[in-house]
Every structure is written in structure tokens, then in C-alpha cells.
Copies of this chain bind each other. A is one copy, B any other.
Amino acid sequence: MPVLLDPAAAWPLDLLLKHVETDGLAWELEGGPMPRIAGLGTLQAAGPLEISFLSSARYGAQLQQTRAGAVVVSPEAAQALREGARAGTQPSFVRIMTAQPYLLFARLAQWFDRQRQGGLSPGVHPTAQVAPDVRLGEDVCVGPHVVIEAGVEIGAGARIGAGCAVGAGSRIGAGTLLYPRVVLYHGVVLGERVIVHSGAVIGADGFGFAPDAMAAARGDAGRWVKIPQLGGVRIGNDVEIGANTTVDRGALDDTVIEDGVKLDDQIMVAHNVHIGAHTAIAACVGIAGSTHIGARCMIGGAAMIGGHLSIPDDTQISAATPVPSTIDKPGRYTGLYPLAEHADWQRNAAVIGQLGALRRRLRSLERQAEAEGAAGAD
């Protein structure tokens, strides 16, 4: 773990907590003396200058051994510690009690992250190539070797990392951050406070081809005619897009990602997909064209969502699950061949191709047994 603050610059815990943006989340300190804090750590790794947190009751044992200076805990965990103390086991750390320990820890992490961030200098780096008519808001940072084409608008405080390419007519909202080597094609719209990680490509052509019937008629079978992808990509506010993820532009209408969607690395969003607000999608997921995913869904890593289908709001798809057709009602869905030792897998997989026949044979035995039962009942 990197050092987050120089230990000499450590803050007293109570002072630090007053500077952290907790967005109305209440907390209370218990125990003492008040430690000085220079960073964050897991229960196992944290030292006396660091805050840790108890995310789940099943890590309670780690709480006994932690060397952390302070730990964020739920009221229930704090109560258990108080009872332990009455029984003679005094905790060695200060408790930060709150109804949402993980959320408070996230806010602490955000505070430390802000202390660390040097990042880009404000202004346009002299090696960047910015078209004359580009409109840049206040305090926009444009890094080295960036290319920004004509007609682009970039909102206040946005940061464009080294080597990004922004295509003609795209719009980037205020406070948005592009890490190095992101590519936006022409006509891509990003909202405010969006984060796009390196290597992501937004607005490449959707995969659209028509069979070339004229060439086929001339005896040149199999050729494809490209359907130019004339739509764009619209991405809402507070979206995060992972490294090397691709979001293709629409064929005619736009590909749309609503507010607050979180996409991990190496996700593929095909043309004319629509992803509802606050849906979170883990890495390596593919979503085929024109599919509509609802709001607040959670999609596990490497799930593969077919095209031209829809998934309702608040649906969960398990990791590595293919979704070949529309899902009608919310719930959790899975489709995953179970893991086995290879020899066992071979033995059982050989039966998969006979399942229809097996069912018929079973039915035939059942009929025979029924007939005998009936005969026996005569």
C-alpha cells in the first residue's frame, strides 16, 4: 500500500473527520486517546496511524488482532465491543460508529484521494493539438499530445489526460476526467463528473453490414456492404467507464448510457444499446446491439447479453451467464455449467447430448410402470 500522507503530516482523527465530506452521514467516536491518522488500511494491514473498517460481522476475528489506530464500525459491532470490554477485552483502537460503515469509509478514502492528486496542470499543454473553434470551460486541463477536433465543447474543470483523442463535435461535461489514451469519436456526448479510464474507445462504428446481393448476383457471393453508423453516443452524469471498454455509436439513433451507470474494464456495449440509470456492470461483459437494460441492475463479470432483448429494472445477472432472450420479471438469473474435475466433467458432459433421449426413456418406463400398476390393480 502506498503511503497516503507523510506520517509527519498526520491529522488528529477528530479533526480529520470534521474535514471529510460525509453528506449528512452521522458518526460518533468512542474510546481514546485520539490517534493521529496518515492513511487507511485493511484490518490486517493497517498500523497505528491508519483507519480501518469492519465491513461484515464475519471479519470480527480480525478485529481482535488489528493494529489499526481507529476502526469504522456499525452500532451493533460497537455494542459487541462494549460488551467485550466489560468482559475484560479492551479494544486497542478508537471506534468510529456509524450506521453505514462502508459508506463512511468510502468518504474517508475520497478525502485521502484528494490529498494525493497532483495530476494534470491547468491549461492546455503546448504539445496538444486543439482546433481553433473548440470551447473550453474554466480550469480545463488538456494534457500532452491530446488531439481535439473542431466543434468540441469541454465543461469547466474537465481534465483530458495525455494522448486522448476527441472527435469533431463531441461534448464533455464539467468536472469530467479522461485518463490517458482515451478515444472519443465524433459526436460523442459525455455528461458531468464522468470518469473514463485509459484505453476506452467511445463512438467507434457499430457492427452493421448488409449482404451484398448485387455482388452475389454477379457470382461474387458472401460480400458485405457496410452500413455507416450515423448515430452517436450519449452518456449521462456520474458515469464511470473502465479501462479498454468500448461503447459503439448507434446506427441511426444513439447508444445511450444513463446517469450513474458504472462500467468496469473491457466491457463491450454495442450499437443502440440503452443502459438504465445506476446499473453496475462488472468486467468483460458483452452487450449485443439494440438491447435495453433497465435501471439499478447488477450484471456479473463476463456475462454475455444477447441483442434485441430487454432486461427489467432491478435485475441481477450472475457472472459468466449468457442471456439469450428477454427477461420478463426482475430477479436473479444464472446459466453456468458447473465446474468439475476434468474426468468427472467428461463422464457427465457425455450425457448432455442424450438428455432428450433420456427423458423419453424415463417417460416410457413410467408408462410401463403405470400400466403394470393398473394391471396389478385389476
**What residues make up the interface of A, taking CB atoms closer than 8 Å to B?**
1-2, 4, 23-25, 39-42, 45, 99-100, 102-103, 105-107, 109-110, 112-113, 116, 118, 125, 127, 129, 143-145, 147, 150, 161-163, 165, 168-169, 179-181, 183, 185, 187, 195, 197-199, 201, 204-205, 207, 209-215, 221-228, 230-232, 238, 240, 242-244, 246, 248, 250, 252-254, 260, 262, 264-266, 268, 270, 277-278, 280, 282-284, 286, 288, 295-296, 301-302, 304, 306-307, 316, 318-325, 327, 331-342, 344-356, 358-359, 361-362, 365-366, 368-369, 373
Q: A165 vs B316: C-alpha distance in the bound complex, in angstroms?
A: 37
Question: Distance in Å from the Cβ of A317 to the closest Cβ of chain B?
Answer: 9
Copies in the complex: 3
Q: A129 vs B145: C-alpha distance in the bound complex, in angstroms?
A: 9
Question: Distance in Å from the Cβ of A250 to the closest Cβ of chain B?
Answer: 8
Select A362's contact among B41, B295, B331, B358, beta carbons within 8 Å.
Answer: B358
Select A265's contact among B264, B268, B350, beta carbons within 8 Å.
Answer: B268
Task: Please name 20 further chain A to chain B contacts, defined as beta carbons within 8 Å, in addition to the given A1-B250, A2-B187, sorted by A numbering.
Answer: A1-B230, A102-B210, A105-B210, A113-B230, A127-B145, A145-B163, A147-B180, A163-B181, A183-B198, A205-B240, A207-B283, A209-B262, A222-B278, A222-B296, A223-B278, A318-B342, A320-B324, A331-B342, A338-B349, A351-B358
- 8 residue pairs, one from A and one from B, having the closest CB atoms: A113-B228, A222-B278, A320-B322, A351-B355, A335-B339, A165-B180, A204-B243, A222-B296
Q: Do A103 and B214 have beta carbons less than 8 Å apart?
A: yes
Q: Do A252 and B45 have beta carbons less than 8 Å apart?
A: yes
With most chain B CB atoms within 10 A of its CB, the pick from A107, A113, A334, A349 is: A334
B contact residues around A185 at 8 Å (CB):
179, 198
Q: A214-B24, A336-B349, A338-B335 are in contact. Are A40 and B252 (CB under 8 A)?
A: yes
Select A183's contact among B105, B143, B168, B199, beta carbons within 8 Å.
Answer: B199
B contact residues around A356 at 8 Å (CB):
347-348, 350-351
Q: Do A282 and B288 have beta carbons less than 8 Å apart?
A: yes
Q: A107-B225, A179-B183, A355-B351 are in contact. Are A288 and B143 (CB under 8 A)?
A: no
Q: A267 vs B295: C-alpha distance in the bound complex, in angstroms?
A: 28
Q: A45 vs B232: C-alpha distance in the bound complex, in angstroms?
A: 14
